[in-house]
């Protein structure tokens, strides 16, 4: 809730700095999209981050409509800054022809291994905190179902639609959209397994019940993003 | 001559939505930054009977609204009904917002609310 407690003009300054960082990253690293200028890339990077942040914060009930508009804007803006930089940096980290040994892991279920690794990296620091349990406790079933749908949708978009290098190869390898979606669901299940095991490993539950399942779905969101990013970047 | 490809309809929609999102957030924050107050926290409390009963006690909704220009943190609110005194801890109430807590008190006595302490962020 830091965005609700600091001066709005300070957040505006941070957004402007973030925009110029995006612009520089787009100029010198750039996405593959030949139809866009670095300026357009930077606008899309920050704009989509704001929209995504707002959607997630409302979905997870971190912001609600009964909050003051000033506070909603502050929280959404602060949340969007690291996301927008992540968009640009992600592409910088992705080697042009995939990571070293990427052609070997692409076969024989290597994608699932990469997915599990990515899920572990992103959810490892979140699992020991009380946030997954707290958020799961506060969310109604329809919101939890929305988290699952969003996890699957974003995973699919990151791997097969985001303009990371190698997107065409990934699409060609899968052959059809149904196969790509099938793989996305399987990797999501692996991410959920990783999330559930981490919650057990960090003693966040003493029994397997509905609350544990709900916490796993919540932690499964960052785990799914990690799995998708791992697959996209390698 | 530029060899740049033309954007398709979806990409144009994403670009337009992004522009609107950035303009909306920066414009809104700039507006609130310039116009909103910067004075101290002004806290207003209220107790509303929710109409629910638990173990023979009334359940009240305690709200704390911050009408000032600064966030109030680590609030300790004291609720008294006759011989019963409860202490409610509220982590923070940001400027312009309202926080709610629920307390159970004996029936038939009008509760009194007092903010004991808080810090300003």
Q: Which residues of B touch A1 (CB under 8 A)?
A: 92, 94
Return the residue of B nearest to A15 by Cα: B26
User: Taking a C-beta distance cutoff of 8 angstroms, is the pair A23, A36 a contact?
Assistant: no
* Predicted confidence pLDDT, tens digits, chain A (234 residues): 666 667 888 899 989 998 988 888 877 765 555 666 888 888 988 999 999 899 989 988 888 888 888 889 999 998 898 888 877 776 666 655 555 555 555 554 677 888 888 888 888 888 888 888 888 988 889 999 999 999 999 998 888 877 665 666 666 666 676 778 888 899 999 999 999 999 988 888 878 888 899 999 999 999 999 888 887 776
Assess B7–A contact: CB distance below 8 Å, yes or no. yes
CA–CA separation, A15 and A36 (whole Å): 21
Tell me if B7 sits within 8 A of B15, measured CB to CB.
yes
Answer whether A31 touches B (CB < 8 Å): no
Question: Residue B115 carries which DSSP code?
Answer: E
Tell whether A46 lies on the interface with B, counting CB pairs under 8 A: yes
B21:A47 CB<8 A: yes
Q: What is the mean pLDDT of chain B?
A: 86
Which H or E run includes B48? Answer: strand B43-54
3-state secondary structure chain A: CHHHCCCHHHHHHHHHHHHHHHHHHHHHCCCCCCCCCHHHHHHHHHHHHHHHHHHHHHHCCCCCCCCCHHHHHHHHHHHHHHHHHHHHHHHHHCCCCCCCCHHHHCCCCHHHHHHHHHHHHHHCCCCCCCHHHHHHHHCCHHHHHHHHHHHHHHHHHHHHCCCCCCHHHHHHHHCCHHHHHHHHHHHHHHHHHHHHHHHHHCCCCCCCCHHHHHHHHHHHHHHHHHHHHHHHHC
Chain B hits for A51, CB-CB cut-off 8 Å, are 17-18, 21
Q: pLDDT band at residue B33, thresholds of 50, 70 and 90?
A: confident
Q: How confident is the model at residue B5 (pLDDT cuts 50, 70, 90)?
A: low
Q: How far is it, in rounded angstroms, from Cα A105 to Cα B51?
A: 62
Q: Tell me what ipTM this predicted complex has.
A: 0.71
Instruction: Please give the helix or strand (H or E) that residue B20 lies within, else none.
Output: helix B9-35
Cβ–Cβ gap B32/A35 under 8 Å? no
Instruction: Supply the pLDDT for residue A145.
Output: 94
Quick check: B109 contacting A, CB < 8 Å? Answer: no
C-alpha to C-alpha distances, A234 to A151, A164, B37, nearest whole angstrom: 20, 10, 50
Interface probe for B, chosen from A4, A42, A65 (most Cβ of B below 10 Å), is A4
pLDDT of B2 strictly over 50: no
Which residues of chain A are within 8 Å of residue B71 when distances are taken between CB atoms? Answer: 4-5
- Confidence (pLDDT) at A16: 92
B97 touches chain A (CB under 8 A): yes
B30·A12 Cβ contact <8 A: yes
A14 touches chain B (CB under 8 A): no
Scanning B60-89 for CB atoms below 8 A from A yields: 71
Q: Which residue in A15, A33, A68 is closest to B97 by CB distance?
A: A68
- B82/chain A closest Cα distance in angstroms: 33
Of A35, A68, A77, the CB nearest to B25: A77
Q: Name beta bridge partners: B101.
A: B62
Kindly report whether the global pTM for this prediction surpasses the value 0.90.
no
Residue in B6, B15, B28 nearest the CB of A73: B28
Buried b (16+ CB within 10 A) or exposed e, A131-141: bbbebbeebee
Q: In this predicted model, what pLDDT tens digit does every residue of B65-104 receive, in sequence order? A: 988 888 888 999 999 988 888 999 998 888 888 888 999 9
Minimal CA separation from B42 to chain A, in Å: 15
Size of interface A-B (CB pairs under 8 A): 100
Which residue in B95, B47, B7 sits closest to A36, CA to CA? B7
Boundaries of every domain in chain A? 2-93, 102-233
């Amino acid at each position: 809730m830091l965005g609700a407690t600091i001066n709005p003009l300070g957040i505006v300054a941070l957004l402007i700095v973030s925009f110029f960082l995006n612009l520089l990253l787009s100029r010198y690293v750039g996405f593959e999209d030949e139809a866009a200028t670095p300026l357009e890339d930077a606008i899309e990077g920050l704009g989509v981050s704001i929209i995504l942040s707002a959607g997630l914060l409302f979905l997870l009930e971190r912001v609600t409509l009964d909050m003051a508009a000033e506070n909603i804007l502050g929280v959404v803006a602060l949340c969007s800054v690291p996301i927008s930089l992540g968009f640009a940096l992600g592409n910088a980290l992705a080697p042009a022809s995939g990571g070293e040994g990427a052609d070997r892991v692409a076969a024989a279920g290597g994608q699932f291994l990469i997915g599990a690794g990515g899920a572990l990296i992103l959810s490892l620091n979140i699992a020991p905190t009380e946030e997954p349990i707290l958020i799961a406790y506060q969310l109604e079933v329809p919101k939890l179902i929305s988290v699952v749908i969003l996890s699957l949708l974003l995973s699919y978009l990151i791997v097969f639609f985001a303009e990371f290098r190698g997107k065409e190869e990934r699409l060609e390898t899968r052959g059809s959209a149904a196969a790509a979606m099938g793989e996305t669901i399987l990797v999501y299940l692996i991410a959920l397994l990783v999330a559930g095991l981490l919650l057990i490993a960090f003693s966040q539950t003493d029994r397997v019940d509905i609350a544990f399942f709900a916490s796993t779905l919540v932690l499964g969101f960052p785990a799914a993003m990690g799995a998708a990013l791992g697959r996209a970047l390698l | 001559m530029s060899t740049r490809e033309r954007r398709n309809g979806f990409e144009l929609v994403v670009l337009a939505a992004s522009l609107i999102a950035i303009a909306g957030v920066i414009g809104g924050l700039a507006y609130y930054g310039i116009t909103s107050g910067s004075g101290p926290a002004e806290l207003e409390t209220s107790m509303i009977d929710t109409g629910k009963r638990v173990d023979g006690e009334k359940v009240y909704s305690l709200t704390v609204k911050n009408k000032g220009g600064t966030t109030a943190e680590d609030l300790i609110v004291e609720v008294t009904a006759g011989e019963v005194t409860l202490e409610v801890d509220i982590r923070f109430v940001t400027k312009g917002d309202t926080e709610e807590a629920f307390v159970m008190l004996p029936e038939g006595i009008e509760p009194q609310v007092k903010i004991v302490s808080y810090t300003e962020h």
